């Protein structure tokens, strides 16, 4: 082993480019060609018609998702952002209602709330899982709270059982954003299937994908139909369909095409094996990194499995004599593709300046916002400390990791740890 770090004059450990993660094969190509030959690339109509629910591939894909995730309803959409918007609208959120959401997420989890003129309230995260903290949820509940947006980060379910108990106690709706966690299991059920509504991203850098796309899942008949209406120009449909409850049925074009659905059908078949591959990679990383002092590895248990969209780690700075940034720089110099930054949503300009619709601070400055909402730095101390000083992550859905790739990364980590005193 080459023991001298690059930044100390040594030789680089990783001198190869890892192969990009690619789940598309001949099966998807053949499926796309089959659709192209039919000439039917979409079959949605934005009116009350037999084609209101989409074409044959869309409906086949949805039925296969229902079977895999063991839910009554799966609704395909053109992106998971669209799915989140449809979910928030369907659960009956009113302007000015508060929805509790993690700050450690992708921005769409929160803008889906703002889309309906509701007020995001940010909760902190658990330091061991990067998921929303149950105690922080309850601390942030007010008389105006109507829902909880639960985000299952990096491939592992949140403590959804405890969250559902809180929701029942306060009569709150639960939307589960399991974009990064398709196939993760919490107590014998899939992540994303415990709340009122859940779902998964089919964006190109997820476990499986259709380029762009998403799947909403629910066991509630009424919510499912409301999301289908929001997906497909519901305001033009409700009259002829005979719908009485038209709250939030502002129609969009969130429809998935037949090509994407055909790709999704093939991708869905691969999900179990792709999840297993990520888990085997993570297990090899675990074995290689477990003895490095001060490095906290991702959690996975029989009760709550991890599908490792990312291999999220944190540093115990009381046990390490150098900063996270120094360690990150040393690893990057060795050739490791590793992240140290995560965007905390409450610190984005939109929330710091409270500028969303127009330039006058709507909805926070309007009468629909019932109280002063605080987005100051300091409201999510665990997430903020993690982002500022201790977070590191490897993208397990970024590369098609070989055993050699994993071993080179492990070698790089050990090299950095062996040189910790010199890095001081």
The 10 Å CB-count burial string (b at 16+, else e) for 333-371 is: bbbbebebebebbbbeebbeebebeeeeebbbeeeebee
CATH number 1.10.287.3510 given to 26-267: no
SS3 315: strand
What is the C-alpha to C-alpha distance for residues 137 and 410, in angstroms, rounded to an integer?
36
CA trace torsion 76, 77, 80, 82 (10° rounding): -140
What is the C-alpha to C-alpha distance for residues 312 and 339, in angstroms, rounded to an integer?
9
Q: What is the pLDDT of residue 424?
A: 87
Residues 279 and 306: beta-carbon distance below 8 Å: yes
275: left (phi over 0), alpha (psi -120 to 50) or beta: alpha
CA trace torsion 412, 413, 419, 424 (10° rounding): 120
Outline which parts of the chain fall under CATH 3.90.1150.10: 6-22+271-342+383-423
Tell if the pTM clears 0.95, that is, is over it.
yes
Q: Find the radius of gyration of the CA atoms of the chain.
A: 23
**Tokens 């969130």 sit on residue:** 254
Per-residue pLDDT of the chain in tens (424 residues, 90 and over written 9):
578 999 999 999 999 999 999 999 999 999 999 999 999 999 999 999 999 999 999 999 999 999 999 999 999 999 999 999 999 999 999 999 999 999 999 999 999 999 999 999 999 999 999 999 999 999 999 999 999 999 999 999 999 999 999 999 999 999 999 999 999 999 999 999 999 999 999 999 999 999 999 999 999 999 999 999 999 999 999 999 999 999 999 989 999 999 999 999 999 999 999 999 999 999 999 999 999 999 999 998 889 999 999 999 999 999 999 999 999 999 999 999 999 989 999 999 999 999 999 999 999 999 999 999 999 999 999 999 999 999 999 999 999 999 999 999 999 999 999 999 999 8
Q: What is the pLDDT of residue 1?
A: 57
201: left (phi over 0), alpha (psi -120 to 50) or beta: beta
CATH classification (class only), 6-22+271-342+383-423: alpha beta
């Amino acid at each position: 082993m080459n023991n001298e770090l690059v930044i100390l004059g040594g030789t680089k450990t990783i001198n190869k480019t890892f192969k990009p993660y690619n789940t598309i094969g001949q099966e998807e190509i053949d499926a796309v060609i089959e659709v192209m030959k039919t000439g039917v690339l979409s079959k949605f109509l934005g009116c009350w018609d037999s084609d209101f629910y989409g074409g044959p591939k869309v409906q086949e894909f949805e039925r296969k998702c229902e079977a895999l995730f063991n839910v009554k309803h799966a609704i395909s959409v053109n992106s998971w952002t669209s799915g989140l918007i449809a979910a928030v609208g369907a659960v009956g959120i009113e302007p000015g209602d508060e929805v509790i959401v993690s700050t450690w997420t992708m921005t769409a989890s929160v803008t889906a709330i703002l889309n309906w003129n509701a007020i995001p309230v940010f909760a902190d995260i658990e330091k061991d899982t990067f998921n929303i903290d149950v105690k922080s949820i309850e601390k942030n509940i007010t008389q105006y709270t109507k829902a909880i947006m639960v985000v299952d980060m990096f491939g592992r379910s949140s403590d959804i059982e405890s969250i559902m108990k809180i929701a029942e106690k306060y009569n709150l709706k639960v939307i589960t954003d399991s974009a990064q966690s398709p196939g993760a299991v919490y107590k014998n059920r899939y992540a994303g299937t415990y709340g009122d509504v859940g779902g998964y991203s089919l964006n190109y850098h997820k476990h499986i994908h259709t380029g762009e796309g998403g799947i909403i899942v629910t066991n509630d008949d009424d919510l499912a139909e409301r999301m289908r209406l929001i997906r497909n120009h519901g305001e033009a449909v409700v009259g002829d369909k005979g719908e009485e409850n038209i709250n939030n049925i502002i129609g969009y074009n969130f429809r998935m095409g037949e090509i994407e659905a055909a790709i999704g059908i093939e991708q869905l078949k691969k999900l179990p094996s792709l999840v297993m591959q990520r888990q085997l990679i993570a297990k090899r990383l675990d074995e290689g990194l477990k003895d490095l002092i001060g490095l906290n590895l991702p959690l996975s248990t029989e009760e709550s499995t991890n599908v490792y969209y990312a291999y999220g780690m944190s540093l115990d700075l009381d046990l390490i004599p150098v900063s996270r940034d120094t360690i990150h720089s040393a690893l990057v110099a060795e050739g490791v593709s590793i992240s140290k930054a995560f965007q905390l949503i409450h610190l984005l300009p939109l929330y710091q300046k409270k500028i969303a619709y127009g330039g006058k601070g709507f909805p926070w400055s309007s009468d629909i916002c019932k109280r002063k909402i605080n987005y100051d730095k300091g409201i999510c101390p665990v997430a903020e400390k993690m982002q500022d000083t201790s977070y590191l992550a490897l993208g397990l859905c970024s590369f098609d990791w070989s055993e050699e790739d994993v071993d080179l990364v492990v070698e790089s980590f050990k090299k950095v740890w062996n040189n910790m005193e010199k890095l001081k």
